[in-house]
């Protein structure tokens, strides 16, 4: 954690919701699926409706890679196993897959150190050309555009000096086109989507698209320098009416100051609305509505903080004394239904100590439950 640097976290509501619809009927060509491998640990999750979701994960197996793809049609009430890409899962910037996004029930994308695509709901997967070696984050914007935040090398490499590049291309096919390049890695470089609005955080740059990812424009961020440090974007959230931004400030012994800003529209003027609890290094923000905001953070433990009044006041909704296993893919699929992965699994075969648990909320983040596979 770079505690002397203020980081921005801007997370759009649909970070794990690919299609904002009430329900999507499964096409007849969708695979029926089979048993769920025992002891599956989740790495990434993506929703295509309020009920239909896919999970990327890993489970013990006899012949590696042990990558797992799961699907639910009833919001976690039951799961089916599907074929998976022949590549292992890994931590971000590792040698494997760490993310999964579906544009609809048929078209899905697994990404990380390379990319894989399915056009038949996960019945089969094939490698697809990626715009760069590492796909740091990725979004499928409805049935129109693919947006990828990439790097040519990992965090510790000096060869690319932490350079990030944002690309887009039509879902139907074509050439990846470069949108913007950043000179350094950020705290939580990411892409976030709500309807046709796409936010991208690439190092120190904050960009927004209002046409579904076809064109992007730079936006200023409101986080003020703290004791001479420079502001830096890191992750974003949009409930359809407002966009919320989390700014990470001064750090001390497992704590960081966390400012919550809000704007109407797409970032023309930001207003400081409140501060979430300080425990935790950094964090990720998601909003289902003005009455459902969540901050996920970790240091010596892992916490979910909840606000019911647009970020003015906060309470601890959930905490684990887990040594800081952290969170992944925090987001909302409706104004009250949310999802997060506790301790995403990052080891092929599910052999790490991380729990890899999928958690759901139905009350805007006040309470959470583990959803077993």
| Strand order through the sheet with 177-182 | 134-141, 145-151, 164-170, 177-182
User: Is 107 in contact with 139 (CB distance < 8 Å)?
Assistant: no
pLDDT in tens for each of the 373 residues of the chain? 333 334 444 444 444 554 433 344 556 578 999 999 999 999 999 999 999 999 999 999 999 999 999 999 999 999 999 999 999 999 988 899 999 999 999 999 999 999 999 999 999 999 999 999 899 999 999 878 999 999 887 655 555 556 788 999 999 999 999 988 876 655 567 887 888 889 887 766 788 999 999 899 988 878 766 554 544 445 577 777 888 888 888 888 999 989 899 988 776 688 999 999 999 998 899 999 999 999 999 999 999 999 999 999 999 999 999 999 999 999 999 999 999 999 999 999 988 889 999 999 999 999 999 999 9
Distance, CA of 177 to CA of 275 (rounded, Å): 38
Distance, CA of 370 to CA of 340 (rounded, Å): 10
Beta strands in 187-241 (DSSP E): 190-194, 197-202, 205-209, 217-218, 231-235, 237-238
Distance, CA of 66 to CA of 213 (rounded, Å): 33
- Predicted model pTM: 0.90
pLDDT at 162 (0 to 100): 62
Residue 210's closest CA among 233, 190, 194, 234?
194
Q: Is 235 helix (H, G, I), strand (E, B) or coil?
A: strand
- Kindly report the backbone phi and psi dihedral angles of residue 152, in degrees, each rounded to the nearest multiple of 5, phi listed first: -90, -10
Give the tokens for residue 240.
Answer: 């359809």
The count of residues in the chain is 373
The dihedral through the CA atoms of 319, 202, 108, 16 has a sign that is: positive
Distance, CA of 254 to CA of 295 (rounded, Å): 16
Distance, CA of 209 to CA of 187 (rounded, Å): 21
Cis peptide before 316 (omega within 30 of 0): no
Residue 170's closest CA among 186, 153, 149, 147?
147
Distance, CA of 143 to CA of 198 (rounded, Å): 14
pLDDT at 28 (0 to 100): 58
Distance, CA of 102 to CA of 121 (rounded, Å): 9
């Amino acid at each position: 954690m770079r505690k002397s640097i203020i980081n921005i976290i801007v997370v759009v509501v649909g970070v794990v919701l690919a299609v904002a619809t009430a329900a999507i009927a499964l096409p007849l060509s969708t695979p029926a699926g089979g048993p769920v491998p025992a002891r599956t640990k989740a790495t990434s999750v993506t929703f295509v409706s309020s009920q239909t979701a896919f999970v990327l994960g890993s489970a013990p197996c006899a012949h590696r890679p042990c990558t797992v793809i799961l699907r639910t049609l009833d919001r976690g009430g039951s799961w089916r196993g599907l074929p998976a890409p022949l590549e292992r899962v890994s931590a971000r910037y590792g040698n494997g897959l760490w993310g999964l996004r579906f544009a609809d029930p048929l078209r899905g994308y697994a990404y990380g150190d390379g990319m894989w695509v399915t056009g038949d709901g996960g019945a089969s997967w094939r490698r697809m050309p990626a715009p760069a070696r590492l796909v740091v984050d990725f979004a499928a914007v409805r049935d129109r555009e693919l947006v990828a935040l990439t790097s040519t090398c990992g965090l510790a490499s000096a060869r690319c000096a932490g350079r990030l590049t944002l690309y887009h291309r039509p879902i139907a096919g074509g050439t990846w086109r470069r949108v913007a390049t950043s000179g350094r890695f950020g705290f939580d470089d990411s892409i976030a989507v709500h309807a046709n609005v796409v936010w991208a955080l690439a190092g120190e740059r904050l960009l927004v698209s209002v046409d579904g990812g076809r064109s992007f424009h730079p936006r200023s961020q409101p986080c003020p320098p703290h004791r001479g440090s420079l502001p830096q974007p890191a992750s974003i959230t949009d409930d359809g009416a407002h966009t919320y931004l989390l700014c990470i400030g001064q750090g001390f012994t497992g704590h960081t100051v966390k400012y919550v800003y809000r704007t109407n529209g797409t970032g023309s003027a930001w207003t400081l609305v409140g501060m979430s609890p300080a425990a935790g290094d950094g964090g990720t923000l998601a909003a289902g509505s003005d009455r459902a905001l969540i901050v996920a953070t970790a240091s010596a433990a892992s916490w979910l903080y909840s606000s019911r009044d647009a970020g003015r006041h906060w309470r601890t909704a959930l905490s684990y004394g887990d040594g800081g296993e952290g969170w992944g893919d925090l987001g909302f699929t409706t104004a009250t239904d949310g999802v997060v992965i506790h301790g995403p699994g990052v080891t092929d075969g599910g052999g790490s100590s991380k729990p890899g648990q999928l958690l759901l909320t139905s009350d805007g983040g006040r309470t959470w439950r583990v959803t077993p596979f």
